[in-house]
Every structure is written in C-alpha cells, then in structure tokens.
Structure 1
Amino acid sequence: MNIYSLLRKSRIILASVVLILTFILFIDLYEWIPNHLFDTILFLQFVPSVLHFLAVFSLATAGGFLIVLILTVLTGRLYCSVICPLGILQDVINKIARWKSKKKRFFKYKKPHPVLRYTFLGIVTLAIIFGAGWIVTWLDPYSIAGRTFTYLFKPLTVWLNNGVIAPVLQNFEIYSVYHVNLMMPYLLPVLLSFGTIVAISYFAWKRGRLFCNTICPVGTLLGVASRFSFLKVQFDESTCTRCGKCAAVCKSECIDIRNYSVDNSRCVTCFNCLDVCPETALSLRPAKSSTKKPVDFKEVTMPKKEKSNTTDENRRKLLVTGLALLTGSRIYALKKNKMPESQKDLLLNNKEYPVTPPGAGNIKRFNDICTGCSLCVAACPTGVLQPSLTHYGLEGFMQPHMDYATYFCNFDCNKCGEVCPTGAILPLPLEEKQITQMGKAVFVKQNCVVYTDETVCGACSEHCPTKAVTMVPYKDGLRIPEVNQSICIGCGACEYPCPVPQPYKAIYVNGNAEQQLADKPDFGKKQEIDHEEDFPF
C-alpha cells in the first residue's frame, strides 16, 4: 500500500466518523450525547465558528475557523472532504452514482465558474457584515446538512424506532429503547429542506462537487486560501502518459490533463487522483512558484444594490405574504360562525414580538447570528422550539422560536444554549435561565372560559413554574387567573394548556424584544424537619 492509498483511506475513515457523529447529534432520540460533546464535535464547522467568534470574541471557544484556515494553507481544502457534513454527504451520493453508472470515465475536466463563485461569496460576506443572517441560512453548508438531518432524517429515525426497533427489543424485555414522540414542524420548512437537498443531490449525482465549487461560499473562500497552500497536487510531465485516470476520478472536475494542470482552488484534497495514477505522475508536494494569473476580483460581478427602499419593502411584503399562504393548517384560521355562542366575541391575541429561546439576548442579535441549522430544534426535549415562518419576518425565516402551540419550555432545561454552535443562543446556567424573561404572560379576561362559560378551569395556574399566574376570587365561588408579570419568565406553561383555541388564547406570552431578568419568585419558607425527633409511630 503506497502513501497516497493510505491517505485516501484515512480520509474516508475520518470523514465517515465526522458524518456519523454529526448525524447522531441531530437524531439523538434519548439524549445520550452529553452537552459538552456538541461543541467538541462541531468546533471546526466553519461558518458557525466564525459567527460564534463574532458573538463572544474568544478563540478558545470559537477558534475552529482559524484552525481550518491554517489547515487549508498547509494542505488545501481538506475541510471540504473530511469535516463538512454536506460535502461528505455529496461524496456518498456520488459514490452510489458511480456504482450504478456503466461509464468507465465518470468525470472529466470542466471549466470553472468564477463569476458565480465570487458572487455568492460576496453575498454571504456582506450578509455577515450587515447582519443579514437569513441569507447565510440558505448558503451555509453545515446548516443545510443540519436541516436535512432534523426535518427529513430524524422523522424517519423516529418512525423506525417506534415501529420496528422498540417493539422488537421490548419483546426481549429490553426497555432502554422506547417509544419517542416527535413534534413535527411546519410543513413548509420540511418541503424547503427536501427541495434543497434534492437539488444538491442531483448536482452530486451528475457532477460530483459542482455545488461546492459553484455555489458554496465556504468552498470558494477556502479555494482562495488553497491557492497559497504549501502542499499542492502537481503533475510530473516527464512521467505522465495522459491516460486520463486521474481526471476520471476527480469529483471536482479540476484536472486538465491536456495542460498538465490542477485547479487547486477547486481541488478538495480527496487523494483519489494520487491513488489511482499508475505512473505516480501526480504527487502532493510543496508548491512551486505559480505562473498562473491571480484572481482578478474586478472582473467578478458583485451583487447590485437595490434601486430603492420602496422596491425592497414591496418584495419583502410579497415574500412574507406568500409564505403565510403556504403554512397550511399550522396558521390558525378560526371562523367565528363555527364557534360557540359564548366564544363569538373572543379577542385576537396581540403578540407584539415572537418569543426567542432563552439566551438569545435580543431579537436583532439573534437574527443576525443564527443560521437556522436547527440543532436546537432537534435537541429540544419538549419540541417547543420550532422553525419560524413569518414570526420574525423575512430576516428570521427558518430560525427557531418558542412555539407554545406545540408545547412549553421546560423550567429545568437549558439545552438549547448548550448545543448552539454559533452563539446565537448563549449558554445559561440553569439558575440564570430560570429567571430569564423571554416574554410576559398576558391575560385576556374576555377569552377565559371562567368568564365566557362560568366554569372552573385554572389550567394556566397549575402549570406555571414560578407561580406568576395565580387564581383569585371572581364570583359565585369561581376563581379567575391573575398575572404577576414581574416574576413571569414567558415559558408558555400557561399558554399551552389553555383550553381556548389559537389564536384566541385566554392567556398568551408576548415576547420581549430584549430578554430581561425576572424577579425571583417567593415560594415561601421551607418547612424545617427535626431529624432527631422520634417517629410518631
């Protein structure tokens, strides 16, 4: 076995481990993965690491992108072949395509598309600078892979677990694997995630790493860095017979055997060409002084500015309206003529702001940093975190929000902040999380069944963990809710069980534009027990 064969096999093994570990993070049904391992596994993901660094300015906790850049300057785009989950997924798809294909030569050299490549890179760079996180959401390869795992693979895993694995193991009295409830998201994110991965899969099936070398901004940026890499794949013209085997296995389609050249900006350092060359005419060695013309960024077409703010606003309104029409049954459209007489005068819930996850800080900061990778959605044990549609507007499309129609936030849980790779949701100690005010509960007396039906309820008060909602005397022995907003944390434990249907809840949470600290609730003095006293029986 030669050194290049060993490198190729090592690359395949490492990439497989990275893909499996990343996949497990998103489909961890039983929460077996400790929270601290999330940061360890995702530390080198490029875009999340950059955004995390911008949020905390700490290389110790968010310096993965710097390691990737150093690795690229040394060896080329090894990140794309070993660390990027979307890149590894494309390799798997292309491998299947080559197995099924009858072609002897699957790939051949293709010209690059520099205008497209640098345009997408420019768009993402400007988006990060000006805080347009929603653009990064759709071009970051890690986030695309994350949404694919969350909205497509996790439901399949839950179905397999509930329908096959758990029943079979329980027949053998093995109960460590059990039935798991899946909180399904809106239909639109599922369809968009499916459409995105299908398109990328088609590119991978037909053209290998076409997406990585045409659209992906991370691939383009690392391609620029790889032009200056110390080690490069190079030809030895004296021994090359132009058999074409190297070009036939180059999934980046960047080997030009006619000119004995390799486009290192597109090469993903997979070592396939080095391993297959019968004359060892290709080798990985220190780069010679390059005679190639450097990239002329003046020739690259950059995105044009919008003509006017009015045009931009009209487009946004059109997109938001379209998204709202596509949300289906999850956008509640109660018709008052179908409601009981006692509920025909209900007031619509007026939510000024959506509720962001605990640790998000403020909505603008959250929208700027979050890439919508959905890891927090996948990790949330209650399923209250769901991808947003129109909740944040276009800027926060697909970013998570607290959906109290699905469930409520567990008072003793802070997992979303522990797993977030970008720092959009900052980790909070449990004691601090329990007083972080994401929003404030608002009571609408006219909607309450105690008022409309003159019946006993109190579901909101029973579930409130801070006792911000209490029941006070109303009339004829009935009691009605009262809210103390100073100790309310906006967890939604009152909104979720309210029997009045959405969007006319008798109690709902209005999100804070900027999260605050609530007052600590007074649960009274704990009863002291004298352990020395004899038992009374």
Structure 2
Amino acid sequence: MKFPRPPRISQLFFLLLFLILFLMTEYRGSDRIVAAVNGFFRADPLTAVSSMLAVKGYLPLLFPGLLVLALSLILGRFFCGWICPLGTLLDLATGRIGKLGPVRALQGSAKYWLLLPLLFASLFGLNLAGLFDPIAILLRALTFFFHPLLGETARGGWKSLYGLIEERRDFLDPGYHLLRDYLLPFRETLYPLAFLSAFLFFLVLFLERYEKRCWCRRLCPLGTLLGLVSRFGPLRRVPSKLCPDCRACREHCPTSFDRELLQMDECILCLQCALNCPSQRVRFDFRGMRPEAGPVMERRVLLGGLLGGFVLARTFRFREPEAKARMLRPPGVREEGEFLEKCVRCGECMKVCLRSALYPAFLQAGPEALYTPVLVPRLGYCEYNCTLCGQVCPTGAIPDLAVEAKKREVIGKAVFDKNHCLPFAKRVDCIVCEEHCPIPQKAIRSELVELTGFQGEKLQVKQPYVVSELCNGCGICENVCPLEAKSAIEVFAVKDRTPLPPPADAPSAPASQPPGGAPPDPYAGGNG
C-alpha cells in the first residue's frame, strides 16, 4: 500500500479545512460565526497586494497574505503545492483526464498579460483581482452553484423518500437533521450568476485536458505573483537541469520542466522529482547555485500591463444612473469607491445573509462591480439584529459592527410611490409596511386623512409616510408590501450614509412631518 507523501498530506489537510470552514460559514442558529473560510482569503497574497494597492494603504486584516508572500521569497511557491485547495482538486482530477499537449497561445508571457493589468488596475483604483483569484473561483462555485444544488437535491430526495415510507419516516428524522444542521445550506436560494460561477470552475478543470496544472502554470494570477517573488529567492533545486542519463523528472513534475532547465518561478514545491528520483540525486537546497535564466518578462509585457490596467480602470466604471439609484450595499458600507477597492468578490456575505437579501451584482452595477453584493429588498431584507455579513468579510469591505452600531447604519432610504400605494391609489387602508418596520420609533408612520371616494363619498384613510431621519433602508417595507411585482414603497441608495443618531440622542419629535403639516419629508413623497 502506497502512503501519501508529505505534500499530498498537507494538500488534503488544507482542502478538508477549506471545506469545513466553508460549511461553518453559515447561519446555524448562532448570532456569531466563530470560524469562517475568510481565513484563506486573508492568507492570499493576491488579495493582500491588490487590495492594498487599491486603497493605497495597509490593511491589518490581510497581514497573513503579506506573510505568505514573504515566505514565498524563501520557500518558493509552496502555497500552490501544499495549501491551495483549487490546486489540490486539480491534482486529484488530472490523472483521470487525458492530455492533448500544451496550448501554444498560453505559453510564454500569457500569465503576465493577466496578472499585470489586474495589479496596475488596482493601483489606479479598480480592484478586479478577485474575479480570477483561484480561491475566489472555487468558493463562488461552491457558494452559488454546488452547495445550493446539494441542498435542493437533498431536500427533494428526502421529501420523496418520506412519501414512500409514510408512517415509518420518523426513523429517518435523525439522519435528515444531521444533514440539515451540518451540511446543507440553511435556506434555499437561487443565485443569478450560479452558472457563470460553475463555468469558470469547469473551465479551470477543462484546462487539465492539455497539461498538468495548466491553469496554475499558464494563467493563475496568484501563482504568477508567487512565481515572480520566488524567482529571486535562495531555494534551488539540485541539479538544476535534467540528468542526461535519466530525465525522469520531466514525467513526474506537473509544472516546471517544459524546458531542460527547471524554472523556479513555476516550481510548486510538490517534491515529486525528489520523491521519485531513481538515483536519489534530486534535492532542494538553500545554498544551490542560481541557474541561468533570462529576463522575467519582456519590456513590452510590462508596458502593456501598465497600459491595460489604466484602460481597465478608466473604461470599466460606467454605470447607468437608474441602476446606480438601486445599488444598495450591505450595512456599514459608507463609500462606494472604498467598498469596491476592498471587495474580493468571494460571496461569503451572500452565503450567510439571514433573509436572502444579498445577491451578486451583474450588469446593473457596471463591469467594475461584477459579483459584488447588492441588497435586493423585493427578494429579502436586512435583518435588524443581524451582523453576519460583516463577520465573514475577509477584507473589511463590510465592517464587522456591534449589533447596536449596525442598527444605525444607513443602507438607503424608503420612498413611497403614490401611484401604486393602496391608501393613495385605491383609497383603502393598508399599514403593512408600518407594522413591519423594525425601528423602535417607527420610520414609517401613518396619519388619518379625510378623502373623497371615487363615488363622491367621504372617507377616512390611513396614509403612510416615511420619517427619513429614522429610516435605515433595511428593505423590510419593500419586501412585505402586499402588491404583486412592483412594490409601492422602494428603497433607494443615498450619497450620505452617515449612521443614524443613537436613540437617546434622537429628537422626541422628528423634523419631518406628515403631509399636510410642516414642510413634507422628501422621502415620504412619491409620484402623487
């Protein structure tokens, strides 16, 4: 029996840890998530470098990523060969996939043409690195596609099984509860970019059709960044070339021997060459001679990456004004630009959203905001006492706030559409939005007004209005509005997201008054 070697043991350990943390990044009845998969992003050098370039400053949460980058200068691309969960999946699958040979278009400088524009775009304020980060690709595929599919399949299967065994189904309850509490997603949600997320994952897997670790050696921006650093490190393979009487290393190495000379910027430290050397000649030494190597990249690649990053940063920021008005971000986000610079597009906040309010943005947010979280009140609302999204955000794009502070964070402001709202359009009572408003002082109130009915009769109707000084834009009013399709009250984004004052400091009588009194609240109006 062949026992796993140390690199494979490490890979399997971190893959198992990644999956366990993924399942723990979930609402399981507790208001606090003690461990989350965001730790992998905080140890991701690509996330650290791109985010800090974008914000032009140091982010303490991402210090582990800088530490891994520093260790890569000494140990080489150990992260790729010992830790990366996507790389582990590729190693487990590659033996079952026939090979067609390297793709000429992906050889040479192709990986730099992906990495450099991403880094320079971050320098110019547009952080798109998360779209191609290997950990983000895997996590989005799990979050948006595989995990919901598992939940849908498992729940449907159990329902069918219950129908077959009828009164004996109680014997299966412990098994279902075990799956529900530890494995299945706590809610059923369909995400709009699920198939795109799965497509990107399967595309990475499909590249194994051409050569081992094709994605890792030819495209992966994280691997390319680590390779740039490790190229100048002290760790060397001895001998640095293929032995003329053996040449077995070429067959065992998954990344580095497409040429006679081992390329340390492509070596993932899997140690396959050393572990399988029939003559026991191969070793890795910190005192090894630096092998002959050409320039890191051509000058045109560097200049092209700079120009590409500049063009990306200037052309990917168009957003239609109407769509911008409905761009509701999670609680605690104050500045849209700062949020986009930090967001790694991992999907963790959407996974834990208690009321299914957060979804990945697509074209409505413009190309720069692809996969960033958007609150859609008609589908869900921000739970008043929930802080889960801030707890799992790896970069602090969504701050981790105390419950009382989060309650006062402004997401947007609610506005009535009087052409649809029943008390205005139909002249019938409806105070559903007021009843559900979670603000203790009620950000939605109603006043009794006398109206003339459609038949000329006199009516008394309760008409609602919004107290903008108290509204935090949680979206529950829009979510529970009884009208079908379009809601009669909608939450719109606002530029000023200054938190609401604490209840003790709030005025006893809000400045805005109901229609018919003092100057009306601008958010309480509509298309009346």
Structure 1 and Structure 2 fold alike (TM over 0.5): yes
Matched, 1:479 2:479: no
Q: Which moved more, 1:177-186 or 1:270-279?
A: 177-186
User: What amino acid sits opposite 2:445 in the alignment?
Assistant: T
Residue in 2 that maps onto 1:264: 264
Residue in 2 that maps onto 1:491: 474
Q: Any residues of structure 2 matched to 1:329-478 within 5 Å, and which?
A: 352-466=325-439, 467-475=442-450, 476-478=459-461
Q: Deviations over 1:202-229 (max 9, x none)?
A: 1124322221222222111111111123
How many angstroms does 1:429 deviate by?
1.3
Q: Distance in 2 between matches of 1:21 and 1:247?
A: 35
How many angstroms does 1:490 deviate by?
0.5
**CA 1:41–1:395 in structure 2 vs 1: closer, same or farther (change >3 Å)?**
closer
Partner SS, residue 421 of structure 1: coil
**CA 1:35–1:49 in structure 2 vs 1: closer, same or farther (change >3 Å)?**
farther
Q: Deviations over 1:381-414 (max 9, x none)?
A: 2210101123322221221110112110000101
CA contact (8 A) 2:109 2:297 kept: no
CA contact (8 A) 1:109 1:255 kept: no
The one of 503, 506, 509 equivalent to 2:491 is 509
| Aligned positions, number | 478
CA contact (8 A) 1:438 1:511 kept: yes
Q: Distance in 2 between matches of 1:170 and 1:433?
A: 42
Q: Which runs of 5+ in 1 are unaligned?
A: 322-348, 526-537
CA contact (8 A) 1:353 1:511 kept: yes
Partner SS, residue 378 of structure 2: coil
Q: Which runs of 5+ in 2 are unaligned?
A: 163-168, 451-458, 509-528
TM-score (norm 2): 0.80
Matched, 1:137 2:110: no
CA contact (8 A) 1:450 1:479 kept: yes
Partner SS, residue 494 of structure 1: helix
Residue in 2 that maps onto 1:214: 218
Matched, 1:228 2:226: no
CA contact (8 A) 1:387 1:397 kept: yes
The one of 110, 114, 117 equivalent to 1:120 is 114
CA contact (8 A) 1:115 1:300 kept: yes
**CA 1:13–1:136 in structure 2 vs 1: closer, same or farther (change >3 Å)?**
closer
User: What amino acid sits opposite 1:146 in the alignment?
Assistant: L
Q: Distance in 1 between matches of 2:323 and 2:235?
A: 60
Residue in 2 that maps onto 1:86: 86
Q: Which moved more, 1:478-487 or 1:12-21?
A: 12-21
Q: Which moved more, 1:456-465 or 1:409-418?
A: 456-465
User: What amino acid sits opposite 2:292 in the alignment?
Assistant: T
**CA 1:33–1:110 in structure 2 vs 1: closer, same or farther (change >3 Å)?**
farther
**CA 1:351–1:72 in structure 2 vs 1: closer, same or farther (change >3 Å)?**
closer
Q: Any residues of structure 2 matched to 1:306-325 within 5 Å, and which?
A: none
Partner SS, residue 109 of structure 2: helix
Q: Distance in 1 between matches of 2:44 and 2:20?
A: 13
The one of 30, 36, 46 equivalent to 2:28 is 30
The one of 172, 184, 187 equivalent to 1:181 is 187
How many angstroms does 1:6 deviate by?
4.2
How many angstroms does 1:449 deviate by?
1.4
Partner SS, residue 67 of structure 1: helix
CA contact (8 A) 2:358 2:373 kept: yes
**CA 1:197–1:183 in structure 2 vs 1: closer, same or farther (change >3 Å)?**
same
Q: Distance in 1 between matches of 2:52 and 2:483?
A: 44
RMSD: 3.7
CA contact (8 A) 1:380 1:415 kept: yes
User: What amino acid sits opposite 1:138 in the alignment?
Assistant: L
Q: Distance in 1 between matches of 2:59 and 2:371?
A: 28
Q: Distance in 1 between matches of 2:297 and 2:342?
A: 31
Q: Distance in 1 between matches of 2:31 and 2:103?
A: 43
Q: Deviations over 1:41-93 (max 9, x none)?
A: 54312233345656695665320122111221222101112333332232233
User: What amino acid sits opposite 2:387 in the alignment?
Assistant: N
Q: Distance in 1 between matches of 2:497 and 2:466?
A: 19
Partner SS, residue 72 of structure 2: helix
Partner SS, residue 145 of structure 1: helix
CA contact (8 A) 1:44 1:83 kept: no
CA contact (8 A) 1:438 1:490 kept: yes
Q: Which moved more, 1:416-425 or 1:7-16?
A: 7-16
Partner SS, residue 428 of structure 2: coil
**CA 1:205–1:242 in structure 2 vs 1: closer, same or farther (change >3 Å)?**
farther
Residue in 1 that maps onto 2:454: none
How many angstroms does 1:279 deviate by?
1.1
CA contact (8 A) 2:408 2:500 kept: yes
Q: Distance in 1 between matches of 2:277 and 2:7?
A: 13
The one of 519, 523, 530 equivalent to 2:501 is 519
**CA 1:94–1:143 in structure 2 vs 1: closer, same or farther (change >3 Å)?**
same
**CA 1:250–1:118 in structure 2 vs 1: closer, same or farther (change >3 Å)?**
same
User: What amino acid sits opposite 1:181 in the alignment?
Assistant: R
TM-score (norm 1): 0.79
Residue in 1 that maps onto 2:277: 277
Q: Distance in 2 between matches of 1:249 and 1:19?
A: 27
CA contact (8 A) 1:183 1:406 kept: no
Residue in 2 that maps onto 1:293: 294
How many angstroms does 1:415 deviate by?
0.9
Residue in 1 that maps onto 2:14: 15
Matched, 1:200 2:204: yes
How many angstroms does 1:510 deviate by?
0.8
CA contact (8 A) 2:45 2:69 kept: no
Q: Distance in 1 between matches of 2:107 and 2:346?
A: 27
Partner SS, residue 494 of structure 2: strand
Q: Deviations over 1:280-333 (max 9, x none)?
A: 222111231333233244152614748x99xx76x987xx89xxxxxxxxxxxx
CA contact (8 A) 1:43 1:64 kept: yes
